[in-house]
Amino acid sequence: MATEPLRIGTRASQLALTQTGWVAERLRTWSEDVAIVEVSTRGDLRQDTPIHRFGGDGVFVRELEQALLDGRIDVAVHSLKDVPTAATPGLEIAAVPLRALPFDVLVTGSAGLTLESLSPGAVVGTSSVRRVAQVLGARPDIVVRPLRGNVDTRLRRLDAGDYDAIILAGAGLERLGLVGRITEVLQPPRFWPAVGQGALAIQIRAADRRAHAAVLPLDDPPTHSAVRAERACLAALAGGCLAPIGAWSRGTATGKLALGACVLEMVGRTVSRLVVEEDVRDEDESPEGLGARVAAVLVGRGADRMLERMRDPAASATHPDGGTDVTGVTNA
């Protein structure tokens, strides 16, 4: 009797399908029969509403996780930065492939412009409070306006002249073959990416031996260790995917794992930030230990109070440039 195809679940956006196609191609190369199953998520269906208003963390992954639990799919492919740090019982992240560009990027309507060279009053599009805070921290003289939608939708609005520039995750443009649209890469220490940004999460049922064996070769151990540290830091800060927290972990020249994290607070157009950078202490410290230690240093410097103030609707509910909530993070 022929083995049933391994069913890979994905969101239906162009980027999600491209990412899942990459996974499927490699599994087929290893003689695994696969079928791609599209699953709609609440985050995709409600493009005109700030994310926190209809569910907050996990709005791009919950339906995929339920499809796994129900046995409708065998593997789910996520953008790791959308996956809550609290594991769903019965499921596990079995593989994290080699990371793509982990940083945010600026895309402008006029070639050659950077964040610093934008004219005063220029309009920049993003709905991520983490990005808004960092943009205004660098350029308090520009205007930041909300922008949701898939990558192609956002680029169309930029090209239509609705914005002078937009901020996107560089990995999305890289995977879609659109690196030529990148005007500037925004990276630490000036601009911190989301936890897990640029990485994929390959999720399966914890007890599914066939799926585990199939996807394990996709795992890149250095990437997996790095995102474990980032996610442990986020979990220890109790921030969630929507919090104004940035982090980036990577290997150093000496082979150690390093982690930097940034906590942001924005009240109106006034931005405060805390940054901590640490290396692993010794070979016995796990990525999770490094993440927890960085979080503890941040808390010792007041990060918990900053995050609590950002959760206060009176402090965070109004977009700095008028009228629209920005506390719901977009996913590209």
Domain range holding 32?
A: 6-97+199-220
Mean pLDDT of the chain: 89
Q: Does residue 120 register a pLDDT over 70? A: yes
Which of 194, 211, 237 is where one domain is finished? 194
Residues 209 and 82 in one domain: yes
How far separated are the first and last CA of the chain, in Å rounded? 42
Q: Does residue 316 register a pLDDT over 60? A: no
User: Which contacts (CB < 8 Å, 24+ apart) does range 153-158 have?
Assistant: 153/47, 154/125, 154/332, 155/107, 155/181, 157/125, 158/107, 158/108, 158/109, 158/125
User: Token pair for residue 166?
Assistant: 């937009």
Q: Does residue 317 register a pLDDT over 50? A: no
Q: Say if 248 falls within a structural domain.
A: no
List beta partners, residue 251. Answer: 257
Residues 81 and 130 in one domain: no
More confident residue, 119 or 255: 119
Residue % of the chain over a pLDDT of 70: 88
Q: Say if 269 falls within a structural domain.
A: no
Query: Using CB atoms within 10 A of its CB, is residue 249 exposed (0-12), middle (13-18) or buried (19+)?
Result: buried
Q: Say if 302 falls within a structural domain.
A: no
Q: Say if 273 falls within a structural domain.
A: no
Q: Which CATH number fits the domain that encloses residue 157? A: 3.40.190.10
The pTM assigned to this predicted structure is 0.89
The predicted-structure confidence for 233-291, as pLDDT tens digits, reads as follows 999 998 776 789 999 999 988 889 999 999 999 888 889 999 999 999 888 899 999 99
Residues 62 and 209 in one domain: yes
C-alpha span between 324 and 125 (Å, rounded)? 12
Q: Say if 286 falls within a structural domain.
A: no
Count structural domains, the chain. 2
The predicted-structure confidence for 4-36, as pLDDT tens digits, reads as follows 999 999 999 999 999 999 999 999 998 889 999
Residues 166 and 206 in one domain: no
Q: Say if 232 falls within a structural domain.
A: no
Q: What are the catalytic residues?
A: 82
Residues 80 and 207 in one domain: yes
Mean pLDDT confidence for 131-151: 94
Local confidence band at 318 (pLDDT 50, 70, 90 cut-offs): very low
Residues 124 and 188 in one domain: yes
